[in-house]
Structure 1
Amino acid sequence: MPAADLTRAALSAARVWLVGGGKMGGALLTGWLDHGVAPDNVTVIDPGLDQGPHGVRLAADPAAPLAEGPAPDVLLLAVKPQVMDSVLPAYRALGGGPTVVLSVAAGRLIAGFETAFGPGTPVVRSIPNTPAAVHRGMTVACANGHVTDTARATCEALLGAVGDIAWVTDEALIDAVTAVSGSGPAYVFWLTECMTQAGIDGGLPADLAARIARATVCGAGALMDASPEDPATLRRNVTSPNGTTAAALEVLMQESGGLGPLMSRAVAAATQRSQDLAG
């Protein structure tokens, strides 16, 4: 069976409880429904929601779905890291069985979920990013030893419904992933802000500067996505010798104070913060 058909089959059969229907949870839910998850196979547990997509069950707390069963194939935790500890005890009964605990919360270790749910619980820790809202996300995931191939395929299908997905076997790498892709959209947005301000400083009207900066960043991203060439080649393609782009890159590519070393320091700071949050 082709990979796309396997993905759709895994999605259509999956029973999912989504804990937290906020921005990330909502983006995931939309992606699932668009890719074939049956609405009546999904339960969204969030006291702040009073309506959802047609056919998706809503619950204010886990008591009702836990009492009625059956247990979900995947319990996806999409609540903020700082409230996770207050949420987990309600789902303790799902631990130690076939239900996969799938987290999208930053800074929460697999070991913490194993402790909360008990021995033998399958756990997947993942880090998606905000472009998941437009189905262009990047997610990296890590599974513990209790996750079967079938469960892994289901988690991959769920996460892949909103973009690209990669796996790592070393959980320690998730901190760097968080710093690059999890936080990365903010870097791109800030670059766009800086380009806008630079245009204003160069004499452009503010609305025009904002328009061309935004369009340029979006267009360059689309070109990079569509091109088989790597970013370095694409950069060289637009850089004429002794031209305007070369003049700008001489500033941006300085060995000590340029964008490269600055980005490395920024990612290192975000990585350290991720490690600090994980304890």
Structure 2
Amino acid sequence: MRKAKLILKASLFGLAFLTINIALGQSNSSKSQFPEFASYKTWGFTFNPVLNRAPNYTRTLGNIDIKGNSIPGVNFGFNKVIQPERELSFRYGVHLNLLPLESIQFRLPDGDIPGFTNFESNERTLGQLIISVPLEMELKKQMGSRIYFSARIGVNLTLLREGSVEGTVSAFVEDLNEGREIFGIRGQTRKFPIYPNLKISPGFYYMTKPILYQVSIIYQKAIPNYFTGEYLFDNLEISERTEGTYSLSGDQLGIGITLFLRKSQKNLRSLKRRLSRMFTLINCFLFKS
């Protein structure tokens, strides 16, 4: 818990530091370093296939081993970039995420369940869509006529209501004409519904006339675990009762694909007129003062 708080404080300090630098840089510089980015809309659609880190299982009683595998998932939504023509910029968004629930893999020896040889279970479960709000700073560097390197760092605030997830594994024993529940798991979220995650995303922009493409590697480190709970094996013929604890972190590794459409010429002309009027008003104010 202490380590999680330190990570959160460090990430928030980093964001605050970048915010101050952006504010100072923008106040000291009246020119945009990448004016070509102003030709594209500041709202972009993003689609991110990800792998969620495998759950952690710790046995506290018994001798049955269980492990989890990475859980494929996806999140998608919209991002808003503030002053994308700057070398340092800020972005926020609203994303929908497929919530990972559980990944269970185990094997039982012969005779544990009557009529079964090497009973095996390998299950992965995804839950409902949940909302997250990314808040990120971005640094851009030009690498070629159409290619730009980008590095983003920030926090991703996941909204997860208080609740629990439960799962069971059963087997039907034909000789006894009965279903036998042999495994159960239960995970619980915390009461506070906002889960901060540290997010780092290096990548590249590729500029074409109709669309500005951004492809990034996404690494997300969850501060608190999404779920913590317990698991249990029982009703077996040979193996003794096995118990343990379970946690699902919310860590992710994936690829982010974001598309920014080009503004129409009409919108660009309107933007230039508004900027011209704004600068005229500023000059008039300065001249009168």
Give the number of the structure whose alpha-carbon radius of gyration is greater.
2
The one of the two structures with greater contact order (alpha-carbon pairs below 8 A, sep at least 6) is 2
Shorter-chain TM band:
under 0.3
Structure 1 length as normaliser, TM-score?
0.22
More strand by share: 2
More helix by share: 1
